[in-house]
Amino acid sequence: MLFLKFLLITTICIFFIEGKRRNEQKRIKKKTSKNVYALLIVDVQYCFINGSLALNRSSARQNAAEVIPIINKLIQTIPFDVFVYTMDWHPKDHISFIDNIKDRQEYVLGDHYEKYKIGDLVTYTGPKYWTQQVLWPTHCVQNTFEAQIAEDLIHPLPNQKVFYIKKGTDPDVDSYSAFADNNKLHMTILNEKLKSKHVTHVFISGLALDYCVAATALDAKRFNYKTFVIQDACRGVDEKTIKFQLNNFKKNHIRIVQSADIKKIIKHENQKTNL
């Protein structure tokens, strides 16, 4: 009988101590959990502003330069923890350039490589990968002026809070997303960098909304970041593909926001974390 009483008291004590331990763990986790916000600035390069792929000459006729003051204001007024600048950075023999299709004709699926024009989708069977590729004019060639980030955009030297991602460097596969190439065969260092900074929320701006911004946003969501696309800080190529991607964001639970609302959004996200 005494043994049973002892066992009962011991069990109650263990249960009580374990409860206190779990509550303390929850308290510590709550105290140490913190939202970390990154602003991704996608491909704000001269190429897309007034160069070979200037958006104002595409079907949507949007002015890419209009994003610069909006992004600058975000940089100056919103306390982001991390800033990421991405750059299209292609070799001269890149697979996306229509001028290179003749040199790759043996890998074009089907005959008559000559029939393809800018904007067409071509299937390449090699030399390294089987891949579908939209054909573009030669653009953002490494170490050229038009591949530079626009001078009017605030873009400090790399430091603990600021880093740069160059994508599309493999001649045989394109890379719209700042996270990975289009075939998802190779990753950039972006996800690794964001994880190292404990980033939880990603806000995406830049060019072009229906291509590189969209691919980057979808990958950010795939890697489990809370993902926001800042619509007024983006411009796109084609009205149909812009509309498609905006719907795609909604389907994938990516929030479409305006720059004026970000301060409130961050405040709200922090309040939710601290509940």
pLDDT, one tens digit per residue, over 196-244 is 999 999 999 999 999 999 999 999 999 999 999 999 999 999 999 999 9
Percent helix, strand, coil in the chain, to 5, is: 40, 20, 35
The residues, ordered by sequence, that sit 6+ positions from 193 with a Cβ below 8 Å of its Cβ are 82, 84, 163
Using DSSP's 3-state secondary structure scheme, residue 21 falls into helix
Cβ proximity of 53 and 169 under 8 Å: no
Whether 35 and 171 have beta carbons less than 8 Å apart is answered as: no
pLDDT tens digits, one per residue of 141-192: 999 999 999 999 999 999 999 999 999 999 999 999 999 999 999 999 999 9
Give the C-alpha distances (Å, rounded to integers) separating 25 from 20, 21, 29, 33.
Answer: 9, 6, 6, 12
Taking each continuous run of H as one helix and of E as one strand, the counts in the chain are 7, 8
Question: Among the options 166, 170, 172, 212, which is catalytic?
Answer: 212
- Mean pLDDT score of the chain: 90
Contacts of 66 (CB under 8 A, 6+ apart): 235
Residue 167 annotated as catalytic? yes
CATH match of 36-93+137-274 with 3.30.499.10: no
In the chain, domain spans: 36-93+137-274
pLDDT at 13 over 90: no
pLDDT (0 to 100) of residue 15: 45
Alpha carbon 25 to its chain centroid, in Å, reads 34
Query: Which residue is catalytic, options 167, 181, 226, 238?
Result: 167
